[in-house]
Structure 1
Amino acid sequence: MAGKDGYSASVTITRPADTTAYTAGDVVGPTVAALEFPQIGAAGRDAMITSAEFAWHVTAVPSGATSFRLHLYDVTPPSALADNAVWDLPAGDRASYLGYIDLGTPVDVGATLFVQSVQINKQVKLAGSSLFGYLVTVGAYTPASASVMKITLRTVAL
């Protein structure tokens, strides 16, 4: 959603219906794990990611779960990594890779785990009006089956 000078986009992730453990560095997401943040800025322009929010729809921090990192791309990553794959930056992804932002460690706020990162100030060049990414776990943990996560990014046009 675009404002006068700012944009906001959210992605809701529903994990596969399994409890297969993640190791540190694994991609977390749907079966095809590339995420799209639509309408996050003007096509072909620079944008600055100012903040990120991560909500995990579970009632307690899973044992071993720590923080998450969001690797960013200007197009759908050619690698097409799936949930629970080890994240890697292969040669075919290098041209579209924009770096990453650390989302932090979610904390228990009742029926949800939540973390926000403000003043990120990561500048990116958009190819289209969307950003793409892989969510990667920093710690090893066993997830709840079909758990839901939501990531919201906010940007300003440059």
Structure 2
Amino acid sequence: MSEDPEKTGGGGGAFHIGSIGNVYGDMVTGGQTKINLNSSQTESRNAIADIAQAVDRAPPEVKNDASGKLTDLKAEIGKGKKSDDGAMSRLIKGLVDLVPGATQAVVSAFGTPLLGAIAGPLTKKVIKEIEGHMSGGQPDQESPDEPQTV
């Protein structure tokens, strides 16, 4: 009787540990042990939960616009690596402009491995500018070639 190597773990030191909801993974053994669990849908929802809470607390006059931007941002995030970097950066900037209380949540969300991995150069630049404003500094500017005195 032949057993399925994927179910028994007999296929070259690797076996499938199954899936539960949106969590799935594999374990590879041998010289090294590697466990890879992936729960991207849950992780992305958790990463933007604080942003959604900030939008929920937004003043009534901006709440609809902010909710629309958040919905569009979620859609871009859902595209993963195929997301439109320009659209995502504009949505983030627009959201923070409408709801300044979402600033920390946006920076934290895009500091997670999942959202950090799908953020392109424009999105990363916007996040860096937002961080600069949070710390009271100015956004990064090109520094002159001449030395500065302090």
TM-score by length of 2: 0.23
TM-score by length of 1: 0.22
Higher Rg: 2
Greater share of residues in helix: 2
Greater share of residues in strand: 1
